[in-house]
Amino acid sequence: MAHDLWIEPTTFFPKPGQWVGVRLQIGQDLLGDPLPRNAALIDQFVFEDAAGRKPVVGQDGVDPAGLLRSDLPGLLVIGYHSHPSAVELPAEKFNRYLREEGLETIAALRARRHETEASARELFSRCAKSLVLSGMPSADQGDRPLGFTLELVAERNPYTLSADEELPLLLTYENHPLAGALVVAMNRSNPAEKLTARTDDTGRVRFQLRPSGMWLIKAVHMVPAATGSHAEWASFWASLTFERQPRIAQGG
């Protein structure tokens, strides 16, 4: 079942004009397998630089799933939003998944409906982003909302943070702050050492991140599925990746 999906570019630090492969990885604890490009799954596959939004191009069935080139220095925001996919899980697996992803409100709703011992049909959608830095970092260049159904937005440029500074993040659902959601951050050097926090009433969390290595920050939100969708639940999986390097974080 359903593990995380994240964007892992071939480099987080391209030179202006350099082609970057955009890999989609699916797995758990930052151990994953490549997901080749599948046009039938793609709702949006884009990147934004200082000149605006452009498509991430690619060939169906190929890994990396996309390619991009930005001729402008600065922070690039890459985004992948999928169409929903259907899955049906037996009760034990679905209940464990709700516990692991911090979806206690859904577990409580299933209990009130006397569905705890029932299998569950779900539609899940992916809302993945990645931040890539071309050139020197600038505090006035940061993450931008892409309008995804569930979206993590870094409210400071992670490439400008010093080792003792926190990264503030906003989690939105349908472009509104989402309170009470579990947000998890993990570093490639030790993915088992997870940082966790619940979003506050304004949809925000803060993490103090080690100054080096690739970071994956993720959240899952679930709601009752729309009538006629042939599913009981709809889930949205948000992720955000970037890589910190001490020399860049310090601007030297």
Domains present along the chain, CATH in parentheses = 4-249 (2.60.40.10)
Please write the tens of the pLDDT for every residue from 154-181: 999 999 998 889 999 999 999 999 999 9
Question: Residues near 10 by Cβ (< 8 Å), separated by ≥ 6?
Answer: 20, 21, 22, 23, 64
pLDDT lower than 70: segments of the chain: 1-2, 246-252
pLDDT at 210: 84
Q: How many residues does the chain have?
A: 252
| CA–CA dist 129, 216 (Å, integer) | 10
Whole-number pLDDT of residue 34: 96
| pLDDT at residue 78, as a whole number | 98
Pinpoint the alpha helices (H) of the chain.
Answer: 91-100, 104-112, 246-249
3-class secondary-structure state, position 180: coil
- Closest to 62 in 3D by CA, of 32, 37, 40, 82: 37
Q: What is the pLDDT of residue 251?
A: 42
pTM assigned to the model: 0.95
Q: With contact defined as beta carbons under 8 Å apart, do 98 and 86 qualify?
A: no
pLDDT number for residue 249? 40
Q: Which two tokens stand for residue 43?
A: 């709702």
State residue 248's pLDDT score. 43
pLDDT confidence of residue 246: 63
